[in-house]
């Protein structure tokens, strides 16, 4: 039975590796609609996050393969060793203890230092640079308010900037966030009740909405299309209903859409009689 279990665990590790290797080409990967290669993020910052993810994935994969090769060898040797053969006793080895303490520590320190730029760009405005190395301008497009169980969105009127306090000519929508493609835009995230989480998987944008706080979230979109927008925090019985969409469109279409919504919102129904 020893050889059977050795082969069982070796084959299981091989199957796990093969399935993981082919999963991107089979579509078992990051959210994608076929436009992105292997589910590549549709935002600039999202692609930096993907690069960091793939770096960690390669480190984990190499570690997984190495440890399973060692495990497979140990299992097979244990199942096939002859009674008269002398075994290698490694328990309590000072050298091994030093190796598998220092090596993981160095790897974790490297990852911690390597990801600082990505984290800074995600959280610190001044770290988002344009092609000239200057801080990139961020356009505030909307205030997004999460509530059980919908997203309420407030935009400034055309030609005006978003104010913390609602203005008389602000524009409102529900469960539909519009942004101009290509611009670095920001939203102000808040919640009216419990904790929610603003999540756009294809952009790799995710941020908790915390009661009592106004939280800025910035991102861009590289493709003009509709993106799925979700709540990623279990917020009550209707959590499953908190589905919305983020519409990325050209600047011209975005402004035209705002004009249309504003006209519909402030239409009082009065029509001047024909003379």
Structure confidence at residue 199 (pLDDT): 95
Considering only residues 6 and 241, tell me which one the structure prediction assigns the higher pLDDT: 241
Structure confidence at residue 254 (pLDDT): 94
**By percentage, how much of the chain surpasses pLDDT 70?**
92
**By percentage, how much of the chain surpasses pLDDT 90?**
47
171-188 tens-digit pLDDT: 999 999 999 998 899 999
Q: Is the peptide bond before 228 cis (omega within 30 degrees of 0)?
A: no
Structure confidence at residue 103 (pLDDT): 92
pLDDT at 90 exceeding the cut of 90: no
Helix axes 44-80, 2-26, angle to 10 degrees: 160
Structure confidence at residue 117 (pLDDT): 87
Strands 185-191 and 139-147: parallel
Structure confidence at residue 6 (pLDDT): 79
The answer to whether residues 219 and 188 touch, using CB atoms and an 8 Å cutoff, is: no
pLDDT at 111 exceeding the cut of 90: yes
Q: What is the mean pLDDT of residues 159-174?
A: 91
Sign of CA dihedral 205, 210, 212, 213: negative
pLDDT at 34 exceeding the cut of 70: no
Distance CA 120, CA 75 (A): 45
Structure confidence at residue 245 (pLDDT): 95
Structure confidence at residue 176 (pLDDT): 95
pTM of the model: 0.79
Indicate the range of 61-75, 123-137, 222-236 predicted with least confidence. 123-137
The answer to whether residues 145 and 152 touch, using CB atoms and an 8 Å cutoff, is: yes
Counting every residue, how long is the chain? Answer: 275
59-76 tens-digit pLDDT: 988 888 888 888 888 888
Q: Which of 43, 49, 47 is nearest to 221 (CA)?
A: 43
> Where are any strands of DSSP class E within the chain?
139-147, 150-155, 171-174, 176-180, 185-191, 196-200, 205-209, 215-219, 226-231, 244-249
**Confidence grade of residue 36 (pLDDT, cut at 50, 70, 90):** very low
Tell me the domains of the chain and their CATH numbers. 2-88 (no CATH), 139-265 (2.60.40.420)
pLDDT at 228 exceeding the cut of 70: yes
pLDDT at 210 exceeding the cut of 90: yes
Strands 150-155 and 139-147: antiparallel
Considering only residues 225 and 127, tell me which one the structure prediction assigns the higher pLDDT: 225
């Amino acid at each position: 039975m020893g050889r059977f279990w050795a082969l069982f665990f070796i084959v299981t590790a091989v199957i796990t590796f093969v399935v993981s290797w082919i999963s991107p080409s089979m579509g078992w990967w990051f959210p994608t609609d076929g436009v992105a290669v292997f589910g590549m993020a549709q935002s600039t910052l999202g692609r930096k996050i993907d690069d960091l993810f793939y770096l960690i994935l390669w480190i984990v994969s190499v570690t997984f393969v190495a440890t399973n090769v060692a495990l497979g060898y140990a299992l097979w040797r244990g199942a096939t060793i002859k009674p008269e053969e002398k075994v290698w006793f490694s328990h309590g080895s000072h050298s091994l203890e030093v190796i598998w303490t220092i090596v993981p520590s160095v790897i974790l320190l490297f990852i911690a230092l390597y990801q600082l730029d990505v984290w800074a760009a995600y959280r610190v405005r001044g770290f988002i640079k344009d092609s000239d190395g200057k801080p990139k301008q961020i356009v505030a497009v909307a205030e997004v308010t999460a509530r059980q169980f919908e997203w309420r969105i407030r935009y400034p009127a055309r030609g005006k900037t978003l104010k913390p306090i609602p203005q008389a000519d602000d524009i409102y929508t529900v469960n539909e966030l519009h942004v101009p493609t290509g611009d670095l835009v920001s939203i102000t995230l808040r919640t009216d009740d419990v904790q929610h989480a603003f999540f756009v998987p294809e952009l790799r944008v995710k941020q908790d909405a915390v009661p009592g706080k106004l939280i800025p979230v910035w991102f861009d979109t590289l493709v003009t299309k509709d993106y799925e927008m979700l709540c990623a925090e279990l917020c009550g019985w209707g959590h499953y209903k908190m589905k919305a969409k983020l519409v990325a469109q050209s600047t011209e279409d975005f402004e035209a859409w705002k004009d249309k919504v504003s006209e519909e919102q402030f239409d009082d129904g009065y029509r001047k009689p024909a003379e």
